[in-house]
Structure 1
Amino acid sequence: MTTTPMKPPELRDFYENPSVPVASGTPRSLRQARMLAAALGPPVAGREQTVLDIGCGDGTAAATAAPFLTGHRVVGIDWSQDALKRARARMPYAVRGELTGGGLPFRSGTADAVLFSEVIEHLVDPDAALDEIRRVLRPGGHLMLSTPNLAAWYNRGLLLAGVQPVFSEVSLRAIHGRPGREVVGHLRLYTARALREFVTAAGFEVVRLRGAPFHGVPRPLRALDRLACAVPSAASILLLHARRT
């Protein structure tokens, strides 16, 4: 997913490149959308809730979630102008914003929920990002965060074999030492335990942690990857629901 601007300029150029993937797999988006819909509950007449899709990329995740969020207003936010152009073809509202102090174009305490899908792993300063998300969320507002799992079941085996884990990257120019072909700009990776501790320290209460499959797993291993979701700490993708304290 595309994210807030990062220095040096080469990183800005990387995330403005249309060839860089900005969407993740549909199974993850569906699971996260269902979690958010359950948290928000059915819409109440005269009370439209606002959901911010921060790091919306090309709008695919928001479009997938839309049928579950009928009656709520979903607003896409991204730093990349190219991503926003594509997002506006899939969602009615998409605006530019940054995950630095006051960089989101919303008043404090006005959002009911934030979708933060496959973004945090790209950030230089994830602490500042969660501070800004906490600022725009109302007290008790929902944070739905997803990120690749450093301790995914196959990564444990790869590390034992001395192979660079999937999702990790040592270069923005090419893949070195790990399976896969796409460079997507991951700067940080989390285990389930680290993610829980990090989000709690930022002023949120963790409600639930689930697992989701990864669309890039080879086809013969996908059934096993789906089974691993039953143990979130070993799943490919971590889905975390937290509330602002």
Structure 2
Amino acid sequence: MLDHLTANDYERSCTSHDLDVVVDAIAAVAATRKRARSLLDVGCGYGGIAATMRDQLGIPDAHGVDIDPEVISEARAKGISAERVDVEREPLPFDADTFDLVTCFGMLDYLPWFDGAVADMSRVLVPGGLIAVALPNLGSWHNRLSLLLGYQPRDIEFCSRRAVGLAPYYRSERYRVPVGHMHTATTRAFREFMNLMGFTEVRTLPLSPSNVHTRQPLRAIDSVLGRFASTSRRFLYLGNKTKAPAELTDDGWWRPKP
């Protein structure tokens, strides 16, 4: 099932370590509707995830965009029509109402604001189309435990030199290297946000990627609390596009005036 995933995919994306769960969840929803003909993976990386979804879901037309120019050639080699796009600053290079399925796995948390990128994903998604988003969970049990003990949640970085203030259970030096996570959301906040952006929730599932190896007793905690989307380490949101995003009515003092 995961033949398209390379070492690069596994290194780049946590979702690649949970991809069977993600594909099964999308397939269950897709089985109740007209067959999807087109897919866009926003933040496609090396393309293994998009290629796997294309084959497993029987979607003939698969596209991807990513900010990193080094990933594009491998994604194209896997049959993905991939382009370099900075979704924070550039619109998606597609017409409105183009894709039946838009996916975005572990990319939004690298942006200062989610709404501009998600609004553009909504634009290119057909009415009634499906969006699938995976993110680190701000309300995860390990973030709650870190805050309770006075430590910094790993998924929120504010120093580009080193991930600072982490709990002792992040012993490995690789956890101390900043990866660009600016912030993320709880499942409750993300559901409310997606409703604001014109989506109706279909399902929100817990994700517990296998690339993170925890020791006892943390492993035992994860085996229990990781079963719930509200406390799992990551989550997968599935939603239908049902209306246009809410209008922006307040510029806010923090935004530069035109």
Tell me the TM-score normalized by structure 2. 0.78
Q: Is the 1:30–1:65 contact (alpha carbons within 8 Å) kept by the matching residues of 2?
A: no
Separation in 2 of the partners of 1:43 and 1:205?
Answer: 15
Give, as a single letter, the amino acid of the residue that structure 2 aligns with 1:177.
Answer: G
Q: Displacement, 1:241?
A: 0.3
Match of 2:24 in 1: 34
Residues 1:25 and 1:36: Cα distance change in structure 2 (over 3 Å): closer
2:76 aligned with 1:81, yes or no?
no
Q: Is the 1:217–1:225 contact (alpha carbons within 8 Å) kept by the matching residues of 2?
A: no
Deviations 1:63-96 (A, max 9, x none): 4434422243221111221121332233432123
Residues 1:80 and 1:26: Cα distance change in structure 2 (over 3 Å): closer
Match of 2:212 in 1: 216
Q: Displacement, 1:217?
A: 3.9
Match of 1:8 in 2: none
Residues 1:139 and 1:121: Cα distance change in structure 2 (over 3 Å): same
Question: Over alpha carbons, which structure has the higher Rg?
Answer: 2
Q: Is the 2:51–2:62 contact (alpha carbons within 8 Å) kept by the matching residues of 1?
A: no
2:186 aligned with 1:198, yes or no?
no
Question: Which residue of 224, 231, 237 maps to 1:240?
Answer: 237
SS of 1:233's equivalent in the other structure is coil
Q: Is the 2:164–2:176 contact (alpha carbons within 8 Å) kept by the matching residues of 1?
A: no
Which residues of structure 2 form unaligned runs of 5+?
A: 1-7, 243-258
Give, as a single letter, the amino acid of the residue that structure 1 aligns with 2:238.
Answer: H
Q: Percent identity?
A: 32
Aligned length: 224
2:99 aligned with 1:111, yes or no?
yes
Q: Is the 1:59–1:86 contact (alpha carbons within 8 Å) kept by the matching residues of 2?
A: yes
Which residues of structure 1 form unaligned runs of 5+?
A: 1-17
Matches within 5 A, 1:127-166: 127-166=115-154
SS of 2:190's equivalent in the other structure is helix
Q: Is the 1:62–1:91 contact (alpha carbons within 8 Å) kept by the matching residues of 2?
A: no
